[in-house]
Structure 1
Amino acid sequence: MQRSWDDELPDCCYEEKQPSLIKPSSPTPNHKLYLSNLDDQKFLRFSIKYLYLFQKSVPIHLLKLSLSKVLVDYYPLAGRLRPLLLLKSSSNIEDGLSDVDNDDNNKLQVDCNGEGAVFAEAYMDMTAQEFLEISNKPNKSWRKLLFRVDIRTFVDTPPLVVQVTKLSCGGMILCTAINHCLCDGIGTSQFLHAWAHLTSKSTDNVPIIPFHSRHVFKLRSPTSHLPSIHPAFVKNVTNNPNIVDGLSLNQYLQSQPLVPASLTYTASNILHLKSKFVPSLKCTTFEVLASHTWRSWVKSLDLAPSLEVKLLFSMNIRNKVIPEIPKGYYANGFVLACAKTKVKDLVNGNLYPVVKLIQEAKSNINDDSISGIVELLEDKNIKTDLTRSLVISQWSRFELENLDFGEGMPLHMGPLTSDIYCLFLPVIGDSKAIRVLVSLPKSVVGRFEYYMNNFLDSNNVVAH
């Protein structure tokens, strides 16, 4: 008789000696790693949590051995975050730290001390196929698939936490939490592929040597006056007119239970979307799907027509700065581009002007604007403007789904949890498809899914 897992996953049984610390297999540099202003944003003070489902388990001892090897090259992941103020007395600080404000006790850096990554092992009475059937919509019970480190603050969280959960069928779930202050999605993919490579191949060489120095994004020539605020940021939200009943839209959404919405778009769906709404405009898959998602999100929330709303989306800037960032750059090499408009202008008409807004936002990200953002972030009162914004992150471009530790590609990959930030995810087995995942209040999810599907014929409704 087939079991049903509508909500709660069964509890995980942990091994007695849990967790262990996996240290680099050979000596690594012992120094303090400077974090750039792009790394040190408060917006990024969380861990990116990935979940992989495999049909067949990889021996634990091999995963631990290869992790210890890969941490030789990716040694900051075996270190610990520290407030800069506590490290000022050290004589082993990288060149260039002397120009950092001594009074800025919020600035973080990495103590590369080789303390180790956290590695937990568990067992769960569930099969890979049973998990696969519910994999599109994460729920809170999935959090048991990643070991919770007993810490007081984010700063105390180890940069890398891993849990391998063996399943009753012989499969496994691999979950990783990688500190976002150390790297972005490209960096996390680079690390995971290096780990998989060392597990499945008899070699000690990683495919890409990581480049850890952040000097590329140090201030070039600070001015006496900070540059004008980029539209993705805000300094003071007091008395902001874009407020919903005294709360920002972001606070309003997070003040109530959220339910994930998951919709998969094939290449055919996306082509139909382009031909229906923007037939005379050359645009990318991201531009049209982001436009459609933003508009559907705003329409589902039934916001005031005069309210100004924003779309923030990550843009890789590795090839947009001068000099170009070295290959293997292992840090945050992205900024948030920003499109903004009034609700009434977003929800009415076709997507043509919305796509144009996104294209203009992309074109505004160049070497000069990136330098301005780096300088702007010197002011720790500057924050990412989430008051009335949808944030989209593209996981579909990082090759995250093509990860083989030696026992085959994953059956599923995605985030451990769903949030109000929107993810564009890869689809296993269809490289041209994209899964849109975002959480919304339960009362709103139905409307959002309706608007997301509304451009399709009844026979081509997107799968949930």
Structure 2
Amino acid sequence: MASSSSLPAFTVRRGEPVLVAPAAPTPREVKALSDLDDAEGMRFYSSGIHLYRNNPAMAGKDPAKVIREALARALVPYYPIAGRLREEEGKKLVVDCNAHGVMFAEADADLTADDFGDVQSPPFPCFEQFILESTTIAGVEPVIDRPLFYAQVTRLKCGGFIFGQRFCHCIGDALGHMQFEKAVCEIACGADAPSLAPSWGRPDMFMARQPPRPSFPHLEYREPAGGADRMLSTPASDMARVPFFFGPREIAGLRQRAPPDMRCSRFELVAACIWRSRTAALGYAPDEEVRLSFIVNARGRPEIPLPKGYYRNAMAYSVAATTAGELCGGDLGYALELVKKAKSAVTYEYLQSVADLMVLTGRPLFALSRTYIISDISHAGFKEIDFGWGQAVYGGPAKGGEGPLLGVTNYFSRAKNSKGEEGTVVPICLPKDAMDKFQLEVQGLTVV
């Protein structure tokens, strides 16, 4: 896997960014976001990168031109993405569907697809060069009155290219984001329209009840009890980042340590293992509260009424919480039980409760102290984004939890090891003096 330091010296020559508007007239209206969409924790841009090799069958075609034209056509059915966010009373966000367009740039780089090696997990090497940033204010990138989607196509000297994009999380989650990108792909490959028509959903979808009445504790928005968290104070220069692969052997080892009558998914096994190992490695006091927070997708659940083609946020954070002493002193089954309980808590009632809490408490940011936040993107379909050049060599997040979230947030993604075995890869970031301890803890839980 290539790192930023192992890449050869290169230059990216980026053209002037331009706005790409819908290719046909679209409705001029204002659409309200849900009380899940406009939470403080959603007011950022998620960034992704797709790396493609040269495809001789596409000789003579410019990927920047193909994608730009397909993007304009896809913005016709997805016209809210071409609009701008506006904040109203009570920090409520709405989308002004004004067809102002999304930001697009094309570039060229003195690199080949092979220079990046076998990229399996974020951060993508030198990702800053391949995504189009907007202006920041005091280190924060605002989302109000800004384009909701940024795209950059960087042609490589081998004939391949990089598609880098940033999508405002207020408009949609990872699955909704991929739904939009797949629509662009289908049009780029010759379709007249997306095979799945987008749906904004009902105006009252995931809105707070009247009166708001949160019915769950929602620890994700309350700071845990205990002392300071070293993860939030350790400088980036003192952190180590190592990808950990959980393949068939590692999963078999974890299953041996789970209670025999407990049915566990791969995600639950890996999440419990990493949470327990990370807590032990960081050396928290036994009485300090530690948490695992993860995103639970609400799609596909019969009790949650989502229309087909819904691309906005349909997810919530759920939290497993205990003390460091109880977590590290118990067996893996204890951690698994907490993870499974938190995962099953996300029902339609839970989502309504989150919306109620947002309205009552000013849409707070989720708590970070002694909290490990994970997102499983292995089923989001990043590698399925095909503009006609074939499947991406790498498809996934550009970043790996940067800035104040370094080591606090993480992604689970699918990958193959050198033996060709499928597994889950997790790029762990910890203080350097904790990484060896973490590795030993994981080995102890995964050995067969």
Query: Please, what TM-score do these two structures have when normalized by structure 1?
Result: 0.84
Q: Pick from 111, 116, 120 the counterpart of residue 101 of structure 2.
A: 116
Residues 1:453 and 1:74: Cα distance change in structure 2 (over 3 Å): farther
Q: Secondary structure at the match of 2:427?
A: strand
CA distance in structure 2 between the aligned counterparts of 1:28 and 1:286, rounded to whole angstroms: 41
Give the Cα separation in 1 of the matches to 2:367 and 2:4.
38
1:314 counterpart SS class: strand
Select the residue among 59, 82, 85 that pairs with 1:81: 85
> SS of the residue aligned with 2:382?
coil
1:322-355 deviation digits (Å, cap 9, x = unpaired): 5611111121100111111111111124211111
Q: Is the CA contact 2:121–2:243 (under 8 Å) kept in the aligned structure 1?
A: yes
SS at match of 1:272: helix
2:344 aligned partner? 363
Matching of residues 397-436 of structure 1 within 5 Å: 397-419=379-401, 420=407, 421-427=409-415, 432-436=422-426
Counterpart-to-counterpart distance in 1, 2:25 and 2:117: 40
2:128 corresponds, among 140, 143, 147, to 143
2:226 maps to which residue?
A: 242
**8 Å contact 2:40–2:364 — kept in the other structure?**
no
TM-score (ref. length: structure 2): 0.87
Partner residue, 2:289 = 308
Task: Count matched residues.
Answer: 427
Counterpart of 2:104 in 1: which secondary structure? strand
Q: 1:41 is matched with which residue: 39, 42, 50?
A: 39
Distance in 2, Cα, partners of 1:302 & 1:285: 26
1:380 matched to 2:337? The reply is no
Q: Note the C-alpha offset of 1:291.
A: 0.3
Question: Do 2:231 and 2:370's aligned partners in 1 also have CA atoms closer than 8 Å?
Answer: yes
- Following superposition, the deviation at residue 272 of structure 1 comes to 2.8
Give 2:227's aligned amino acid: I
> What is the match of residue 439 of structure 1?
429
Give, in angstroms, the shift of residue 134 of structure 1. 5.5
Give the structure 2 partner of residue 66 of structure 1.
70
Contact 1:423 1:438 in 2 (8 A): no
Cα 1:135–1:166, aligned 2, differ >3 Å: closer, same or farther?
farther
Name which of 197, 203, 207 aligns with 1:218. 207
Residue 113 to residue 382, structure 1, CA distance change in 2 (3 Å): same
Residue aligning to 1:181: 170
In structure 2, the CA distance between the partners of 1:250 and 1:376, relative to structure 1 (3 Å rule), is farther
The structural deviation recorded for 1:182 is 0.6
Deviations 1:389-410 (A, max 9, x none): 1111010011222221111111
1:52 aligns with 50
Following TM superposition, by how much is the alpha carbon of 1:257 offset from its aligned partner in structure 2, in angstroms? Answer: 5.0
**1:66–1:199 CA contact under 8 A, matched in 2:** yes
Decide whether aligned partners of structure 1 residues 383 and 148 sit closer, same or farther in structure 2, where only a CA change above 3 A counts: closer
User: CA separation of 1:204/1:253 partners in 2, compared to 1, >3 Å: closer, same or farther?
Assistant: farther
Query: For residue 59 of structure 2, what is the aligned residue in structure 1?
Result: none
Supply the distance in 1 between the matched residues of 2:11 and 2:260 (Cα, whole angstroms). 51
Q: Partner of 2:180 in structure 1?
A: 191
Q: Are the aligned partners of 1:258 and 1:440 in contact in 2 as well (CA < 8 Å)?
A: yes
For 1:111, give the aligned amino acid. Answer: D
Report SS of the residue matched to 2:5.
Answer: coil
Q: How many angstroms apart in 2 are the aligned matches of 1:372 and 1:137?
A: 33
Q: Is the 8 A contact 1:145 1:163 kept in 2?
A: yes
Question: CA shift at 1:50, angstroms?
Answer: 0.8
Unmatched tracts of structure 2, length 5 or more: 56-61, 402-406
Are the counterparts in 1 of residues 199 and 310 from structure 2 also a CA contact under 8 Å? yes
User: How far did 1:199 drift?
Assistant: 0.9
- C-alpha distance in structure 1 between counterparts of 2:163 and 2:8, whole Å: 15
Task: Give the RMSD, CA atoms, in angstroms.
Answer: 2.6
Matched, 1:342 2:327: no
Report if the CA contact (8 A) 1:321-1:367 is conserved: no
2:29 paired residue among 28, 31, 44: 31
Whichever residue aligns with residue 74 of structure 1, its letter is Y
Equivalent residue, structure 2, for 1:21: 19
The separation in 2 between residues aligned to 1:317 and 1:49, in whole angstroms, is 22
Query: Quick one: distance in 1 between partners of 2:122 and 2:7?
Result: 12
Aligned to 2:5: 6
- Find the residue that maps to 1:359 and give its secondary structure: helix
